[in-house]
């Protein structure tokens, strides 16, 4: 994954502008489109980074929340904006790499109409179950599901969201049959999980740590490549014999396809500087996301890999959205 190892140079997809020498500066305020409603970790990360980037660019970066259609509405706004570096997108796993596989018609192509600026954050997930479920660990949960095929259900924040596709990846790897119950955001799913109306959620760690610490939910496994500082006693899926189910949600800054190279280079520079600020790091970690910087080339290569990975999951799980 991009946040814990080096990445090879980008392939043909996710085109990048050639390297250029002139230094670009914005001529007016910039927009950062967050393709979801305000208040979530993606929104918090975008606002922290936008404030810091604005200070360095000498122009404010104004966050606009444009939710709907799995992030497609906000993504299209950036794809159709003038290619001058003044419109940014906080893109996420589902919008950039999963939606092209699950939406039969998309009005734009993320790989063609958007340009990578740089990685922003990663966020590992955790599998949580209600205390009423007779499964004290992951092995017992898998055994219970195999003994009751199709009877247990898992919630997600919506079709194609990372909370959906990562859970499908786990389900396929474990060889179990679970019913998907999509919600409009994670809040409703969490409430139903605590009540025992659904039997499992795979959710960002920050969204579940409080309920686990207060003994309202039980954590079975985290999905990242190593244990997480917020849940150091919870094993990874790899430790439990399912390395193929390792998954991390993430956010990346994109801009309009065709934006000149000097603009992308300057935006990447100030994004990386912003992500290195101790105050930004502290506040992002407190919001449950881990800052992660990188070059446009690294992000482009990562997007190719992630698009292929989640495309396989979508096909195997037969996920579609009209």
Per-residue pLDDT of the chain (322 residues; tens, 9 = 90+): 444 433 333 344 565 554 545 789 999 999 999 998 887 888 999 999 999 999 999 999 999 999 888 899 999 999 999 999 999 999 999 999 999 999 888 999 999 999 999 999 999 999 999 999 999 999 999 999 999 999 999 999 888 888 999 999 999 999 999 999 998 878 889 999 999 999 999 998 988 999 999 999 999 999 999 999 889 999 999 999 999 999 999 999 999 999 999 999 999 999 999 999 999 999 998 888 999 999 999 999 999 999 999 999 999 999 887 6
Measured in degrees and rounded to the nearest 5, phi and psi for residue 261 equal -55, -45
Q: Which residues contact 178 (CB under 8 A, 6 or more apart)?
A: 145, 150, 152, 153, 154, 167, 171, 199, 200
**pTM to 2 decimals?**
0.86
CA distance 91 to 72: 10
The pLDDT score that the predictor gives to residue 16 is 57
Q: Which CATH architecture group holds 124-245? A: 3-Layer(aba) Sandwich (3.40)
CA distance 207 to 193: 13
Residue 13 has a pLDDT of 59
CB 16 within 8 A of CB 115: yes
Contact 32, 62 (CB under 8 A): yes
Q: How far apart are CA 308 and CA 293, in angstroms?
A: 22
Question: What is the number of residues in the chain?
Answer: 322
**Predicted pLDDT of residue 322:** 63
The predicted pLDDT at position 121 comes to: 96
Residue 271, phi then psi, degrees to nearest 5 = -65, -45
Position 237 scores a pLDDT of 98
With residues binned 3-state (H G I as helix, E B as strand, rest as coil), the percentages for the chain, rounded to 5, are 40, 20, 40
Nearest CA among 125, 247, 143, 127 for reference residue 193: 127
pLDDT of 308 reads: 95
Q: How many CA atoms lie within 13 A of 105 on its CB side?
A: 2
Return d(Cα 292, Cα 225) in angstroms, integer: 15
Domain with CATH 3.40.190.10 in the chain: 124-245
Instruction: Give me the phi and psi of 225, to 5 degrees please.
Output: -70, -15
**CATH 3.40.190.150 applies to domain 30-122+249-317:** yes
In the chain, residues under CATH classification 3.40.190.150 are 30-122+249-317
* Cα–Cα distance measured from residue 164 to residue 307, given in angstroms and rounded to the nearest whole number: 15
């Amino acid at each position: 994954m991009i946040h814990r190892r080096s990445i090879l140079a980008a392939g043909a997809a996710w085109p990048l502008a050639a390297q250029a020498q002139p230094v670009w500066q914005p001529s007016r305020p910039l927009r950062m489109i967050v393709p979801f409603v305000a208040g979530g970790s993606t929104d918090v990360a975008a606002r922290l980074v936008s404030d810091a980037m604005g200070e360095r660019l000498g122009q404010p970066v104004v966050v606009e929340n444009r939710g709907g259609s799995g992030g497609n509405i906000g993504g299209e706004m950036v794809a159709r904006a003038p290619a001058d570096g003044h419109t940014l997108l906080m893109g996420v796993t589902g919008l950039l790499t999963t939606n092209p596989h699950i939406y039969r018609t998309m009005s734009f192509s993320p790989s063609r109409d958007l340009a990578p600026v740089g990685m922003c954050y990663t966020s590992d997930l955790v599998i949580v179950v209600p205390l009423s479920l007779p499964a004290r660990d992951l092995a017992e949960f898998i055994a219970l599901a195999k003994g009751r095929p199709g009877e247990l259900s898992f919630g997600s924040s919506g079709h194609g969201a990372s909370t959906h596709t990562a859970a499908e990846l786990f389900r396929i790897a474990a060889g179990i049959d679970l019913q998907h119950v999509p919600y409009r955001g994670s809040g409703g799913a969490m409430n139903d999980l605590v009540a025992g109306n659904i039997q499992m959620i795979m959710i960002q760690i920050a969204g579940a740590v409080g309920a686990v610490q207060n003994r309202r939910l039980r954590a079975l496994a985290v999905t990242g490549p190593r244990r997480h500082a917020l849940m150091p006693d919870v094993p990874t899926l790899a430790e439990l014999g399912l390395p193929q189910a390792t998954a991390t949600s993430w956010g990346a800054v994109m801009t309009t396809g065709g934006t000149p190279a000097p603009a992308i280079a300057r935006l990447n520079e100030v994004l990386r500087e912003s992500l290195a600020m101790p105050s930004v790091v502290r506040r992002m970690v407190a919001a449950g996301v881990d800052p992660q910087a990188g070059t446009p080339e690294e992000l482009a290569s990562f997007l190719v890999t992630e698009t292929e990975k989640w495309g396989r999951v979508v096909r195997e799980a037969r996920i579609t959205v009209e």
